[in-house]
Structure 1
Amino acid sequence: MKTKDICLQGLMIALVTVSTMVFQIPVSATQGYIHLGDSMILLISIFFGWRYGMVAGGVGSALADLLSGYAHWVPFTLVIKGLMGLIIGKAADYAGKEGHFFRLRNLLGSVLGLVWMVLGYFLGGAVLKSSFLVAATSIPENAIQAAAGMVIFLVVGYAFSKAHITKYISVK
């Protein structure tokens, strides 16, 4: 890896961590919180590719859990959010030069990644709580979190696309 790539990856990890921690809405059913970090994972995975999305999503989100007092979720979050970034980045096909942000593959990849996140946290909750039934109570809140992340992603992603952000930072 080049120095530039390492710096970008570190910045993206920090972006996911900070955006996850700066605005948290506690959810009693999941003992977790709704946050802005998922929109950052979506943006990073679409604009910069699966490698950046996977590392920033997994490590950044796991750091946010650790620093927010949810250490018991760190291994689950590392895997869930890392795979989320991988899924989105692999499915996406951002054509930065042409500015086609609203491509079917980008939208489908985003939805697949968010569905994985909801499923992953359901499975992680089932392990932590020793009950699939109890873990199922987290599905609505995680779905709301996913929907909010998608809306923010669409708005910010469209703006980034119009600003041709990849012209200034080329990593693919």
Structure 2
Amino acid sequence: MEKSRTQKMILSALFIAMIFVATRINIKLPLGNGGLVHLGTAFLFIIAVNFGTRYGAISGALGMTIFDVLSGWAAWAPTTFVARLVMGYIVGKMNEKREKGNILIMLASFVISGVFMIAIYYIGNAITFGNWIAPIQSIPGDITQIVIGALIALPATKAIERINILKRYRWD
């Protein structure tokens, strides 16, 4: 059954809001340039795996960018938009044809998207602040963010898969 544009917009808005709120639940890191560890990455992973590429990319990019703009991190907003859009796309695409219970593909998608996130944030920070050395200090925090997101998303997604009703809400 084809979903209406209204249904897709409502789900997208719901997921954007969920990621924004999950990103608000954070701990500031005392290392490097600071940065945050938050639940937003876990929600991005969960949404991209269970609902597909478009929902994952759009909700991750907009939810976390809105957080940046409203929370004093506006300088990072353009980089966040690109990084999280790419992450959501990669995770969603890699899990499109994944069989239920296959956590290796899911885990690989988290790692690969995380590598892209780290690279995008490094380049974005270097360009934004005109320094190609300082952004290296943010990499440990970025890795921590990805690991925590994966540790939450793996069991949550396995539980969601058992429900089996969510496939009808995928965008594709």
Give the TM-score normalised by structure 1.
0.89
How many Å separate the matches in 2 of 1:86 and 1:171?
13
Match of 2:47 in 1: 44
Match of 1:86 in 2: 89
- Which segment is superposed worse, 120-129 or 77-86? 120-129
How far has the Cα of 1:42 moved from its partner?
A: 0.6
1:67-86 equivalent positions in 2, closer than 5 A: 67-86=70-89
How many Å separate the matches in 1 of 2:55 and 2:167?
17
**RCO higher in 1 or 2 (8 Å CA, sep ≥ 6)?**
2
1:154 and 2:157 correspond:
no
How many Å separate the matches in 1 of 2:76 and 2:143?
18
Q: Secondary structure at the match of 1:69?
A: coil
How many Å separate the matches in 1 of 2:34 and 2:105?
33
How many Å separate the matches in 1 of 2:122 and 2:166?
35
How many Å separate the matches in 1 of 2:20 and 2:118?
19
How many Å separate the matches in 2 of 1:103 and 1:24?
26
Any gaps of 5 or more consecutive residues in structure 1?
none
Structure 1 pair 154–103 and aligned structure 2 pair: CA distance change class (3 A): closer
Report the count of equivalent residues: 168
1:16 and 2:19 correspond:
yes
Structure 1 pair 83–68 and aligned structure 2 pair: CA distance change class (3 A): same
Q: Is the 8 A contact 1:94 1:101 kept in 2?
A: no
Q: Is the 8 A contact 1:47 1:94 kept in 2?
A: no
Q: Percent identity?
A: 32
How many Å separate the matches in 1 of 2:55 and 2:170?
12
CA deviations on 1:107-166 (whole Å, 9 max, x unpaired) are 222221112112221222212232221110111111011100010001211111122241
How many Å separate the matches in 1 of 2:129 and 2:101?
40
How many Å separate the matches in 2 of 1:157 and 1:43?
6
Give the TM-score normalised by structure 2.
0.89
Any gaps of 5 or more consecutive residues in structure 2?
none
Q: Is the 8 A contact 2:110 2:146 kept in 1?
A: no
CA deviations on 1:42-65 (whole Å, 9 max, x unpaired) are 111111111111100111110011
**Deviating 4+ runs (over 3 angstroms):** 167-172
Structure 2 counterpart of 1:146, which letter?
A: I
Structure 2 counterpart of 1:26, which letter?
A: K
How many Å separate the matches in 2 of 1:48 and 1:101?
16
Structure 1 counterpart of 2:120, which letter?
A: G
1:22-37 equivalent positions in 2, closer than 5 A: 23-28=25-30, 29-37=32-40
